[in-house]
């Protein structure tokens, strides 16, 4: 069964699904209009990039995301800002491409009539497997449409849809860019993933007092068993090392990532990106890594800052320790010179770990 057949029903489906703009859409008219575009754009089973990128699966896709296609700087910039192709953004683009994306390579004058734009969009949607329109269209093209309609009560979104083409088992569905953006908030040591934003030490200080100080203390010194965040310099070789952002943590990105994903404790994801930049700047300040209260941290200067202990992390070398040396035999008799003596006894559960050993969460963390 061709996945593109029976296109005429799309318009009706679009209407009933409530996705459609005010005007009715005509896939057939859209197909005709698309002749204006085929010099540069291809759609369908064998579509390749031409002067412009191929337009299958356009809806829901991030701008500038077709691999191997050379986009203009302007389109790449728009993509970086998070432009995603939807009914609205495509409509805006094809109204006047060079107005919507200044500097785009797309040399098309534009479609003045809203009706034409809607028809083109309706036509393009028949090539977008991720779009509800296309899925709905395909559901409707099922050989037993009535049965489909009556068996969807349990899971209307998943029953009787065509089997996706990806992978081996064809399970799951394509993640939409908006969905990936909502969850993919991790920041890597090289700064990859940092969001736009900025904040100064001075901005961070009141934020810290309000959101963080009840556990971590006003200056990151830690309250009760909660983590100490500042100080502890030159203590790592001592009997009771104090492991803080300044004395121990290798990368600043970890501070930003963790604060943004998990702090404040009990109200995660409540801080704005600017707040997180400001708090991170404040934590640099209380750790004496920056000294100017007006210091502003942003995506641009983030990766310039290195934490002092970065070089002191090494690989796992346990297997080289003498007790794991190969070919050793386990001794079975007279392994110690004389009778064995007790040299230390459990202090019967009244050992309260010292409050100053650095990791509020104590040795079990």
Partner 1 sequence: MNNRKKPETEISNPARRKLLAGGLAASGAAAALAIGGRQAAAAAPDPAITKIQDWNRYLGDGVDERPYGFPSEHEKEVVRRSVSWLTADPKSSVNFTPLHELDGIITPNGLCFERHHGGIADIDPAQHRLMINGMVDTPLVFTMEDLKRFPRENRVYFLECAANSGMEWRGAQLNGCQYTHGMVHNVMYTGVPLKHILNEAGIKSGGKWILPEGADASGMTRSIPLEKALDDCLVAFKMNGEALRPEQGYPVRLVVPGWEGNMWVKWLRRIEIGDQPWQMREETSKYTDLMEDGKARRFTWTMDVKSVITNPSPQAPITHGKGQTVVTGVAWSGHGKIKRVDVSIDGGRNWETARLDGPSLSKSLHRFYHDFNWDGSELLLQSRAIDEAGNIQPTKNELRAARGQNSIYHNNGIQTWHVKADGSAENVEVS
Residues 142-161 within binding reach of partner 1 (CB under 8 A) = 155, 158
By CB under 8 A, residue 22 contacts partner 1: no
199 class by beta-carbon count within 10 Å (0-12 exposed, 13-18 middle, 19+ buried): buried
Nearer to partner 1 by Cβ, of 13 and 245: the residue is 245
Distance, in Å, from the CA atom of 47 to the CA atom of 41, rounded to the nearest integer, reads 8
Q: Note whether 277 and 199 are within 8 A (CB).
A: yes
Which of 187, 207, 228, 279 lies at the binding interface for partner 1 (CB under 8 A)?
A: 187
In the range 203-222, which residues lie near partner 1 by CB under 8 A? 215
The yes or no reply on residue 302 touching partner 1 (CB under 8 A) is: no
What is the sign, positive or negative, of the torsion defined by CA atoms of 102, 105, 108, 111? negative
Contact between 251 and partner 1 per CB under 8 A: yes
- Measured from the Cβ of residue 143, the count of other Cβ atoms closer than 10 Å reads 7
Residues of span 54-93 touching partner 1 by CB under 8 A:
none
The CA distance from 125 to 14, in Å, is: 10
Among 241, 274, 296, 299, binds partner 1 (CB under 8 A): 241
Q: Which of 35, 81, 237, 304 binds partner 1 (CB under 8 A)?
A: 237
Q: Is 347 in the site for partner 1 (CB under 8 A)?
A: yes
Q: How far is CA 221 from CA 171, 227, 264, 337, in A?
A: 50, 8, 16, 49
Question: Which C-beta is closer to partner 1: that of 22 or that of 364?
Answer: 364
Rounded Cα gap, residues 331 and 173, in angstroms:
58
Binding range to partner 1, per CB under 8 A, among 90-98, 132-140, 203-211, 328-336: 328-336
Q: Is 179 in the site for partner 1 (CB under 8 A)?
A: yes
Give which of 320, 328, 282, 281 is closest to 304, Cα–Cα: 281
Binder among 189, 218, 288, 301 for partner 1 (CB under 8 A): 189
Least distance CB 128 / partner 1 (angstroms)? 14
Pick the closest to residue 182 from 82, 263, 262, 277 (CA basis): 82
């Amino acid at each position: 069964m061709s996945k593109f057949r029976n296109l005429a029903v799309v318009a009706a489906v679009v209407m009933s699904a409530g996705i459609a703009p005010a005007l009715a859409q005509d896939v057939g008219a859209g197909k005709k209009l698309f002749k204006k575009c085929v010099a540069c754009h291809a759609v369908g089973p064998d579509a390749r990039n031409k002067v412009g990128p191929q337009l299958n699966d356009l809806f829901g896709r991030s701008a500038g995301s077709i691999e191997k296609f050379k986009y203009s700087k302007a389109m790449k910039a728009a993509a970086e800002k998070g432009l995603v192709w939807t009914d609205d953004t495509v409509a805006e683009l094809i109204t006047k491409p060079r107005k919507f994306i200044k500097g785009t390579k797309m040399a098309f004058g534009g479609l003045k009539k809203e009706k034409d734009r809607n028809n083109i969009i309706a036509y393009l949607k028949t090539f977008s497997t991720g779009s509800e329109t296309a899925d709905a269209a395909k559901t409707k093209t099922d050989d037993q449409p009535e049965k489909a309609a009556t068996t969807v009560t349990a899971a209307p979104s998943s029953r009787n849809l065509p089997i996706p083409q990806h992978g081996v088992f064809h399970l799951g569905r394509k993640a939409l860019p908006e969905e990936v953006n909502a969850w993919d908030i991790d920041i890597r040591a090289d700064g990859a993933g940092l969001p736009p934003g900025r904040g100064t030490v001075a901005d961070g200080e009141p934020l810290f007092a309000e959101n963080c100080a009840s556990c971590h203390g006003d200056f990151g010194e830690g309250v009760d068993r909660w983590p100490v965040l500042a100080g502890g310099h030159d203590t790592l070789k001592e009997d009771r090392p104090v492991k803080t952002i300044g004395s121990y943590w290798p990368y600043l990105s970890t501070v930003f990532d963790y604060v943004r994903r998990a702090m404040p404790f009990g109200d995660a994801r409540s801080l704005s990106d600017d707040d997180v930049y400001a708090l991170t700047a404040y934590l640099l300040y209380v750790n004496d890594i920056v000294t100017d209260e007006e210091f502003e941290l942003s995506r641009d200067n983030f990766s310039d800052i290195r934490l002092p202990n970065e070089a002191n992390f090494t690989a796992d070398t346990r297997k080289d320790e003498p007790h794991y040396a190969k070919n050793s035999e386990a001794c079975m008799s007279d392994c110690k010179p004389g009778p064995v003596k007790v040299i230390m006894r459990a202090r019967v559960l009244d050992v309260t770990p010292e409050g100053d050993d650095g990791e509020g969460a104590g040795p079990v963390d």
